[in-house]
Structure 1
Amino acid sequence: SLSSCVPRQFHVVKVNKNWTEAQRYCQQEFTDLATIDNMREMEMFNSIMNEADAIKPWIGLKQGSSPKWLWSLADRNFYREDEAEFRNWDSGQSQGANENLAQQQNCIVMGKGNEKWHNRQCGATKPFICYDVNHDTCITTGGNSTHPYVVVTNTNKKWADAQRYCRENHTNLASVRNETENEKIKKVLGDTQEAWIGLFRDAWEWSDGSKSSFRHWGIGEPNYGDSLKGFCVQMVSGQWNDAGCQHDLNFICYEDKLVLVRENKTWKEALQYCREHHVDLVSVTSERIQRWVRGRAKGASSTHVWLGLRRSCNMGFWFWVNGETVCYGNWAPGGKTEPDCQSARVGAVKSGRDGKGEWVMLPETEEHYFICTTEDQ
């Protein structure tokens, strides 16, 4: 959801550039070409685009060369550790069948009496399984047992059309996060021969390195027409279309709301400075925020950069200054040990252009640069 990310500001640039030129412009003037994570952001983008009267603008998605398996339900907060990587392939089914560009995307079904997963071409028409986060429509099995899964059998659809139906009428195509959910869906399927679930395979990549699996293709897209320099994504009438990256179009950039303060201060002084001049020390609650922090830290001349991360000796856990507990983490090997509580311990990120942005525990009395947020997280 938007609340889980550092707030971003989007900028419609009504200058025609090819995708590579647009990418370079956004990275120089802002943060990067726009990444879109969910339907809520799509609605916001449509509003921004319409107000600016942008003409079929580029966003930050470009076709790469390494297809990956992804879930249609893109919200990383929906998945606990390793749940987005849960797989239950049948023998020989994990690779995807055809590497031809137009057929590179494969989609997955579950079937009658078989909890294993099978590859199918996404253009085939089949029943499908939606997930409903609000449980507004549940399937009842065995009398009293209910599930947030809706099996749609009265109409067969291509995978992309099934995805569109689930988003419009429920939440999304069903994700399967563990063996328990896999077994529940198997039971809910009943006599259905085969039905789409939300796993798909494609090679599209975001300019900023985001692993977001959100896609919002128009009907029949991507169709991989003629292109001299690969395929990139533009927004057309609120949906996505693949186009040759060489075309000159308007584009949409985003700017993250992080500020590197180039002053050496103790952790408490940094916290006070951020709260007086901006909003707060940065809380790194997602992979996306970590990428932004890493990018900012590369510009620091201090050995480390303070984060809004603190260890509570009394309670025995780490927490962020925005009040969230630490779920996402990027600790350096050996970077986190149990403190002796004789002196306060806080978190910092390693700086330097070659660094991985890994976190370490330091005494709060050391002095380093720090990163503030300029809007509430």
Structure 2
Amino acid sequence: MEKVLLIIIALSGLSAVSSHAERQYHFVYEAKTMSEAQRYCREKHTDLATVDSMEVVELLNNMAGQYNQSAWIGLHDDRDIWRWSMSDPSFYEPGETEFRPWRDNQPHNRHEEQCTYFRSSGKWGDYDCNTRLRSVCFDVKGPNATFVLTDSYMTWTEAQSYCREHHTDLASVRNPAENQQIAELFPGVGWFWIGLYRDSWKWSDGSISSIKYWAENKPNYRASKVCVAAAFDNSGKWEDLDCGVKKPFICYGPVVPVSMKVIKVRVENPNGVDLKSKDFLDAMLVELKNNLKAQGLDDNVQLAWRKQPDGEVFHEEL
């Protein structure tokens, strides 16, 4: 007795295309650490996935299908990156953006301490940006700066908005002379916000995206090395995890055409095996995929049974 089956081979693997970003996303189910996943994505595609729109969030959720756990995306926490609110590079001479008279044992670089205060002693520390402090604004005319202390107590973000509205910006402090100028303005002991802050969440490919899709009470900042996974049991919302955890992951790359091929396979003498059995059909796909990979076919090959018009995979040859 002979039966005939048909299979479809899609050389693109499990992937989907974002029309907005013109990127093709690839869901890889092999569990890897964040650094291993990043290396794989950069070798096979472009990089770990960047999520820059709600369209991409929806696309990744659709790709995940019945998969209800989490998978790495390209977001991670780089806690050593500090920058000034006043970002104009022409305002700084070489080395001036790195001037840092920190207090002893500062900065802590804790996740919640992302903004900088200036102490009356002229030393700096990092602190929770939601704390209300007075601030140092400055007015810039050419290469010169004039510093002004505020009377109101504000969060760092509120202070930044106030300084930009009434002056030039929250103060940048470029050198020891300017640091001394500010210290001499202080009426006594106190802490004042200046413009140095840390925006530590970075995408693996270096791109900038303002979208934030954190799950409730995330990030919780408990891991020593923090990377981000999309949790597909929670609408693809983000959770922060230790980067050494092994998880499936999502890559992206350029959009490429999907190649399809249909192959006929003849099965002889099935010896009583139920060729309609899902277990048998699944086992056959695994064996076929392994054989094709051994012949050098793409690791991401996807196989599926192609059913006949009557819904059957196999038909007996007469």
TM-score by length of 2: 0.42
Higher gyration radius (CA) = 2
TM-score by length of 1: 0.37
Q: Highest relative contact order (Cα 8 Å, sep 6+), 1 or 2?
A: 2
